[in-house]
Amino acid sequence: MYRDTTLVKQRAWQRVRAAVTTAKGIAFDGCHKIYVLMDDAQVAQMTDYGYRHVQPVIEPDREFETLKDWFEGSCGLRFISAVQTVDGDPNDGFMDLIAQGEFDDEED
């Protein structure tokens, strides 16, 4: 089955751009885990976890470009997820924006 990889990438980056416009911060572990932090509690949590790069979203366009740079420079199994604090199971607060391996094997 034919898959338009350009369209897949465009839609993925549109999800990232939409999330970062309302995010409180972004975080990168320095390897492959990239997060768009949707609330202040998640910013604090990623800082507590010792993520190498945690920064607030001040100018969403600038932070969007930072996310793209992190993604392009990251190692295998990379992904970008939005995360927000929820009551109950913390895993319910995660949403794939670019799923792990979604387009890693394709030419950029």
Residue 108 lies in a domain: no
Domain that holds residue 80: 5-98
How much is the average pLDDT of 6-21?
94
pTM: 0.90
Residue 31 lies in a domain: yes
Residue 53 lies in a domain: yes
Residue 104 lies in a domain: no
Taking the C-alpha atoms of residue 108 and residue 92, their distance in angstroms, rounded to an integer, is 31
Collect all residues with Cβ–Cβ distance below 8 Å to 91 and sequence separation of at least 6.
Answer: none
Judged against a pLDDT cut of 50, whether residue 41 lies above it is answered with yes
> Domains in the chain: how many in total?
1
The pLDDT, as a whole number, for residue 52 is 86
The pLDDT, as a whole number, for residue 3 is 58
Taking the C-alpha atoms of residue 71 and residue 48, their distance in angstroms, rounded to an integer, is 22
Q: What is the largest CA-CA distance in the chain?
A: 44
Judged against a pLDDT cut of 90, whether residue 104 lies above it is answered with no
Residue 106 lies in a domain: no
Residue 32 lies in a domain: yes
Residue 61 lies in a domain: yes
Residue 54 lies in a domain: yes
